[in-house]
Structure 1
């Protein structure tokens, strides 16, 4: 399954490391990433993939909660199919 993950929060050292480490522990592969810093705000969009027979989106979201709390972030994930459907014109 492919999904789109967004990460936002106040910029500080270690955000990318914390997010990528948590994803690696879940065996979630990062296929593409875009990140930027606007003033003091960090934003990142990740295109990720994982085996949906082993893991689902709700589990990934739940397992990212400690990263959200520790890093002071907002992390959201949705299926790529849903993301594409919502964003089609």
Structure 2
């Protein structure tokens, strides 16, 4: 299994989760876990996904998600699980 972490941050609006999930489904990426909160009008979501069956290479998916974020007014970041773990180790 090739796990990755997706973070989404921005001003809350209708359809953020739907559009991100639709983009992942089109690329055959499975969502393993998802957590989202809205704090004082700001949307924050973290997803753990399985990239093993992705139709696109990691770099392409990352670029597509970043462009989607720009289009809907949020920041979307895709990171390999091992890099995410090393960056956030205490």
TM-score calculated relative to the size of structure 2: 0.88
Whether 1:42 and 2:43 are equivalent positions in the alignment is: yes
In the aligned structure 2, how far is the partner of 1:5 from the partner of 1:47?
A: 6
2:52 alignment partner, SS class: coil
In the aligned structure 1, how far is the partner of 2:54 from the partner of 2:17?
A: 27
Moved more, 48-57 or 1-10: 48-57
Whether 1:25 and 2:9 are equivalent positions in the alignment is: no
Q: Is the 8 A contact 2:30 2:50 kept in 1?
A: yes
In the aligned structure 1, how far is the partner of 2:7 from the partner of 2:78?
A: 6
- How many aligned positions are there? 89
Structure 2 segments unaligned to the other structure (5+ residues) = none
Change (3 A) 1:53 1:12: closer
TM-score calculated relative to the size of structure 1: 0.89
In the aligned structure 1, how far is the partner of 2:3 from the partner of 2:89?
A: 17
Change (3 A) 1:38 1:18: same
Q: Is the 8 A contact 1:57 1:78 kept in 2?
A: no
